């Protein structure tokens, strides 16, 4: 199952790489303040929010642990495609995702250590393991996609569309199977932890929105990036730190909860960005 999910994610990231423009990848790097914004929102703000919520909540232990793990895993391999659909400039979306991935290699282990200390637990996440996970699920397939575009030009675009379609079908089917198989547990955990999940999702969106600066598209991009995490990295940390704790149902519950809670914000920002006189054009394959 893990291999299939990883393969599906890689296909979708490859599709994003096929569409990417090399010049756009430097959008955030050229503006050091944006690197500070990313660190402040995704690697400081959300972990601090998670610690506060967990200490105040009486939710099940599995959900509390999942909140902390998701706060640590501050990256999302499918982020660019989410942002394309809202109307964020493709180059900025790619740059935000790549810069976040690179920052995660040193910052995720540090965040894990700090959060573990808050609860008297050693949470050791080797930077090498983080780098390997990110390379497999994002950096390598993204680079391969860009390589296809560099070699084949516009002829590579259909390949990206096919890769994205296959990936969506596979991921959708797997999520459906997991939700059906775990529906009793997922619904029970989600209901018991509803205030915690809503607080985490709304708080994360507000942090990203507040830190994202004056530009509406960039503010929206950071808000969506801040609430979107990396389930695979989350499970990697859980396996190493909490081997006897069943975290898959609460993680699925958290992902579902954050997705549902984010819908009104996403719809609102899509309308805002679509109403701009110079709104960024969307590619056909980006939906």
Q: Is 160 a domain residue?
A: no
User: Which pair of structure tokens corresponds to residue 6?
Assistant: 């990883």
Whether 35 and 219 have beta carbons less than 8 Å apart is answered as: no
Q: Is residue 220 situated within a structural domain?
A: yes
The count of domains in the chain is: 1
Distance (Å, rounded) from C-alpha 85 to C-alpha 217?
12
Structural domain containing residue 193: 2-142+166-273
Q: Are 159 and 28 in contact (CB under 8 A)?
A: no
CATH number, residue 81: 1.20.1530.20
| Domain annotation covers residue 215 | yes
Within 10 angstroms of residue 114's Cβ, the number of other Cβ atoms is 15
- 158 assigned to some structural domain: no
Q: Using CA atoms, how far apart are residues 188 and 250, in angstroms rounded to an integer?
A: 10
User: Is residue 161 included in any domain, yes or no?
Assistant: no
Tens of pLDDT along the chain (287 residues) come to 667 777 777 887 888 788 777 777 778 878 889 999 999 999 999 999 999 999 998 888 888 988 998 898 887 767 877 888 888 888 888 888 888 888 888 898 899 889 888 887 777 677 788 888 788 878 888 889 889 888 888 888 888 888 878 887 887 787 788 778 877 788 888 888 999 999 999 999 999 999 999 999 999 999 999 998 877 777 767 766 666 667 778 888 888 889 899 999 999 999 998 887 654 444 433 33
Q: Assess if residue 188 is contained within a domain.
A: yes
Based on its alpha-carbon atoms, the radius of gyration of the chain, rounded to whole angstroms, reads: 18
Q: Is the pTM of this model over 0.85?
A: no
Q: What is d(CA 115, CA 147) in angstroms, rounded to the nearest whole number?
A: 39
What pLDDT, on a 0 to 100 scale, did the predictor assign at position 37?
94
Q: Which pLDDT belongs to residue 281?
A: 43
- For residue 111, the number of C-alpha atoms closer than 13 Å in the C-beta half-sphere is 30
Q: Is residue 157 in some structural domain?
A: no
Answer yes or no: are the C-beta atoms of 16 and 80 closer than 8 Å: yes
C-alpha distances (whole Å) from 213 to each of 79, 118, 190, 200, 272 are 19, 30, 33, 21, 15
Question: How far apart (Å, rounded) are the C-alpha atoms in residues 248 and 239?
Answer: 11
């Amino acid at each position: 199952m893990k291999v299939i999910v990883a393969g599906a994610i890689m296909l979708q990231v490859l599709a994003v790489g096929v569409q990417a423009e090399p010049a756009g990848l430097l959008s955030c790097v050229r503006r050091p303040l944006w690197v500070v914004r990313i660190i402040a929102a995704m690697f400081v703000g959300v972990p601090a929010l998670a610690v506060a919520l967990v200490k105040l909540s009486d939710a099940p232990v599995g959900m509390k642990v999942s909140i902390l793990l998701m706060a640590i895993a501050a990256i999302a391999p499918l982020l660019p495609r989410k942002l394309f659909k809202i109307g964020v400039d493709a180059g900025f979306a790619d740059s935000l995702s790549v810069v976040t991935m690179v920052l995660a290699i040193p910052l995720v282990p540090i965040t894990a250590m700090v959060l573990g200390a808050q609860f008297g637990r050693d949470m050791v996440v080797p930077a090498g393991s983080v780098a390997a996970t990110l390379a497999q699920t994002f950096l390598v397939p993204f680079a391969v996609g860009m390589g296809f575009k560099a070699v084949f030009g516009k002829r590579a675009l259909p390949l990206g569309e096919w890769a994205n379609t296959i990936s969506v079908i596979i991921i959708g089917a797997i999520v459906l199977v997991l939700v059906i198989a775990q529906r009793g547990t997922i619904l029970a955990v989600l209901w018991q932890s509803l205030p915690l999940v809503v607080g985490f999702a709304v708080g994360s969106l507000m942090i990203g929105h507040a830190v994202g600066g004056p530009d509406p598209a960039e503010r929206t991009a950071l808000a969506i990036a801040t609430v979107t995490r990396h389930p695979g990295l989350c499970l990697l940390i859980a396996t190493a730190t909490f081997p006897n704790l069943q975290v898959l149902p609460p993680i699925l519950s958290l992902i579902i909860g954050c997705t549902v809670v984010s819908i009104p914000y996403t719809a609102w920002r899509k309308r805002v960005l679509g109403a701009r006189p110079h709104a960024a054009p969307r590619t056909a394959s980006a939906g």
